[in-house]
């Protein structure tokens, strides 16, 4: 892997504080900046992957709904009312 120089401007006070903190961690400022850059790139890649997954899930759901694969709200409510009742029954049985 080839290396490149990355130059940017930063407030002198911030630079000095960062350098001091880096030395306190037995690291150079450059090492920490490389770590931060790697972490940021990884976070962005993970966010993009999640966004792509989520978009696929939404598209799948929309396609299913458009194809008529729907469950009426009354059925969903009845199913979960039964689940709540069963959970309540179990809780009362333990008491």
pLDDT digits over 34-77, tens only?
Answer: 999 999 999 999 999 999 999 999 999 999 999 999 999 999 99
Give residue 23's pLDDT.
96
32 has pLDDT over 80: yes
What pLDDT was estimated at residue 1?
A: 75
Assess if residue 28 is contained within a domain: yes
pLDDT band at residue 88, thresholds of 50, 70 and 90? very high
Domain of residue 32 covers 12-70
- Residue 22 falls inside a structural domain: yes
Which one, of 48, 42, 18, lies nearest residue 31 by Cα?
18
Start-to-end C-alpha separation, the chain: 65
Q: Find out whether 22 and 28 touch, Cβ atoms under 8 Å.
A: yes
What is the number of domains present in the chain? 1
* 33 phi/psi in degrees, rounded to 5: -65, -40
CB 14 within 8 A of CB 24: no
pLDDT of residue 84: 98
Q: Rounded mean pLDDT of the chain?
A: 96
């Amino acid at each position: 892997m080839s290396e490149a120089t990355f130059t940017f401007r930063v407030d002198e006070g911030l630079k000095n504080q960062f350098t001091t903190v880096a030395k306190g961690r037995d690291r150079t400022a450059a090492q920490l900046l490389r770590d931060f850059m790697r972490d940021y790139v990884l976070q962005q890649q993970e966010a993009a992957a999640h966004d792509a997954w989520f978009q696929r899930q939404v598209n799948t759901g929309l396609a299913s709904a458009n194809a008529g694969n729907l469950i009426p709200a009354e059925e969903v409510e009845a199913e979960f009312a039964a689940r709540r009742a069963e959970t309540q029954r179990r809780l009362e049985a333990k008491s």
